[in-house]
Structure 1
Amino acid sequence: MPRHELHQWLSCPSGKMLLSREKALLDGVLPHLFGHYILQVGRLGDADLLVRSRIPHRILVEVDGNRSVPGRSCLRARPDALPIVSDSIDVVVLPHLLEFSSHIQETIQEAERVLIAEGHLLILAFNAWSLLGIHHLLCRQGNPDPDRQSESDERPCTPCRGGRFPGLNRIRNRIATLGFEVISVKRYFFQPPIGNRDLMNRLRFLDVIGPRFLPFFSGAYLIVAKKRVTTLTPIRLHRRQPRQSLIPVGLSET
């Protein structure tokens, strides 16, 4: 799962701005979600995405090999094979995990498995139909081999050159088939992914007008979904009474 370039990109101006925006979005959502256990599958740089959560027990699953951050403990596992008991987690956060997964359906199914009924799933993902998505496509065409990067390049030109941007509708359809109800979709990061910090700051107004006038062209989106479980109400079976004869007993039919 080649997410190392994503972590590098998050340290450049456009990556820092995206990460700041995503932390702000999660800070607004997580305080309203309650329970005993919250699970984050995959890091975003060294950021603590769950800092505003009120849930006491926080679990971080590392999916990027031997990468670690001092002072933070974690589990190491594949996102499609979590070492966690079924129906035990109240909130699952997948931060830019599906872009690098070759088994998207299995990864989402695993999140559904560990979630309790009425638990929440939060998905952060990049949008293909955006300036960031177009830039990503051009970078892939210009350098189809993500492992071959010029030594002069200080940062990857795209956050996931080794991955793909999953479409919002595709993700919504996949989670719907597993019984999730989409509660909200937040779109953000309408700026082009450029390396000039001053220019990025000047283009902040795009994040103000973008959600209103160009919502479908956001660079990324946050899906908040709830796991719905249909409870079958048992129907009491009544013993069928024998049908009465229309002819009185003792009389014969002629």
Structure 2
Amino acid sequence: MPRPRGRRSIPLRRTTLWWSGRTGRLLLERAASFVPAWLEKLRPETVLQVGQPLLWSKPPESKAIWVLLNEGSVCVNTAYLQTLGNCENLPFAAMRFDLVILPFCLSRVSDPAAVLAECRRVLRPEGHVLVLDFNPSGSLGMLRRWHVWRRDRSWPWRRPFLSLGQLRRLLDQEDLMIREGRYFQYTLPGLGRNAQWLELVGDRWWPAGANAYMLLAQRRDAEQPLVGLVEPAFRQRRRRKLRAQAPAAQRLRDDDA
């Protein structure tokens, strides 16, 4: 038993070192700037994040219950509720979460379809899954192929990156409807913050050349209508209407008395 754990810890250490480097930090900072706006629209009550890296030192939505699936790596952050498990066999009951976040997870597993099937299982009806992953046509995708060709053992990403077309087909197989998406982070590895102008140029003229993408999909249930991102606003309007009717009903009862 000790030997397999040692073999598993080597890629985990490589991945941790890569995310703590300059290229990994820039990618996480860019992703962390987009996700809170989507969380504000969804307003989930329970969130599951599958694996690391952590986009924030603490969850951006303090009212939500935020669970982190720890797959064996060391995470001393106590702002998340942590549980040990495997992303291909989630240790949770069905229909448990409103939102599942997959931060750069599908490109490092052998069976992405099994991970998405587990995500759909633990999602509540009309729940959402947010996928963040590497874009194979970006500069990081070309850098990965170069490292693999050189047989660089320090490079953490050995498997091919999952393209957006492949992800769309996998989501459709699991009855997960795409709601929103975007490319992000165009800075070339090694240029650092001096090349932030590439973010504006790339987003306008070459979106497919980004290093990463994020895609929001929603669980589709045949027996229930798919409300989507407008569900929170609909519930707010309904609550306001009920509150407006309550005082009038109270006055009628007082007059009858």
State the TM bucket, normalised to the shorter chain. 0.7 to 0.9
Task: Name the structure with the higher helix share.
Answer: 2
1:71 aligns with 2:63: no
2:78 & 2:181 partners in 1: Cα distance? 33
Closer/same/farther in 2, CA of residues 223 and 47 from structure 1, 3 Å limit? closer
The Cα shift of 1:71 comes to: 2.6
Q: TM-score scaled by structure 2? A: 0.78
Q: 1:193, CA displacement in angstroms?
A: 1.2
8 Å contact 2:59–2:66 — kept in the other structure?
no
Report the equivalent of 1:135. 143
Larger RCO, structures 1/2 (Cα 8 Å, 6+ apart): 1
**Deviation at residue 170 of structure 1 after TM alignment:** 0.2
Indicate the SS of the match to 1:210: helix
Residue 50 (structure 1) shift: 6.4
Structure 2: 5+ residue stretches without partners: 1-7, 226-257
Give the equivalent residue in structure 2 for 1:40: 49
Unaligned runs of at least 5 residues, structure 1: 150-155, 234-254
Say if 2:210 is the partner of 1:193.
Answer: no
Q: How far apart are residue 174 of structure 1 and its match? A: 0.4
* Number of aligned residue pairs: 215
Structure 1 length-normalised TM: 0.78
Structure (1 or 2) with the larger CA radius of gyration: 1
Residues 96-115 of structure 1 aligned to structure 2 (within 5 Å): 96-115=104-123
1:16 equivalenced with 2:28 (yes/no): no
Corresponding residue number in structure 1 for 2:209: 217
Alignment match, 1:163: 159
2:160 counterpart SS class: coil
**Structure 1 residue 43, shift from structure 2 partner:** 1.4
Partner of 1:172: 168
Summarize the Cα distance change of 1:57–1:43 in structure 2 as closer, same or farther, 3 Å threshold.
Answer: same
CA distance in 1, matches of 2:210, 2:57: 21
1-side partners of 2:201 and 2:57: how far apart? 26
Alignment partners' CA distance in 2, 1:3 and 1:125: 17
Distance 1:49 1:123 in 2: 19
Provide the rounded CA distance (Å) in 1 between the counterparts of 2:151 and 2:99.
38
Q: How does 1:45-64 map to 2 (within 5 A)?
A: 47-48=55-56, 51-53=59-61, 55-63=63-71
1:114-164 alpha-carbon deviations (Å, 9 max, x no partner): 0011101000000110111101110111116x3xx4xxxxxx5xxx43333
**Which aligned runs of 4 or more in structure 1 are off by greater than 6 angstroms?**
none
Task: Report the CA distance shift for 1:93/1:82 in structure 2 as closer, same or farther (over 3 A).
Answer: same
**How far apart are the structure 1 equivalents of 2:210 and 2:18?**
18
Q: Structure 1's 94 and 140: CA in aligned 2 closer, same or farther, altered over 3 A? A: same
Map of 2:5 onto structure 1: none
Shift in Å, 1:221: 0.3
Matched residue SS, 2:120: helix
Match of 2:179 among 162, 183, 186: 183
**Residue 6, structure 1, aligned to residue 15, structure 2:** yes
- Specify which of 128, 134, 139 is matched with residue 126 of structure 1: 134
RMSD (Å), alpha carbons: 2.0
> Pairwise mapping of residues 232-251 of structure 1 onto structure 2 (< 5 A)?
none
CA, structure 1 residues 41+50, in 2 after alignment: closer, same or farther (shift >3 Å)?
farther
Q: How far, CA to CA, are the matches of 2:103 and 2:181 in structure 1?
A: 14
